[in-house]
Amino acid sequence: MTEAISSEDCAGIESSYSDFIDLVRRGRSCSIIQQTMDDAGYDNIDEYIDALEIERDEYLADLACD
């Protein structure tokens, strides 16, 4: 994800975020996902996923990706 962002790779950003969001959805009860969400300051998983989707969309908009 970081590499795609730094290289301004629109397809890579989309793919990386989609993969990560999918993992978060499938790992709702996983302690690592719960800890990551807690560390980021989110109260529930859906709020965290929404924030990830917004972050992805903002990167894509900033780069004028279609």
Distance CA 45, CA 48 (A): 5
The parent domain of residue 27 ranges over 2-62
What's residue 3's pLDDT? 74
pLDDT digits (tens, 9 = 90+) for 2-52: 676 776 778 888 999 999 999 999 988 889 988 988 899 998 899 999 999
**Number of domains comprising the chain:** 1
Which residues neighbour 17 within 8 Å (Cβ) at sequence distance 6 or greater? 1, 52, 53, 55, 56
Report pTM. Answer: 0.81
- Least confident among 9-13, 43-47, 54-58, 59-63: 9-13
What's residue 53's pLDDT? 96
What's residue 4's pLDDT? 67
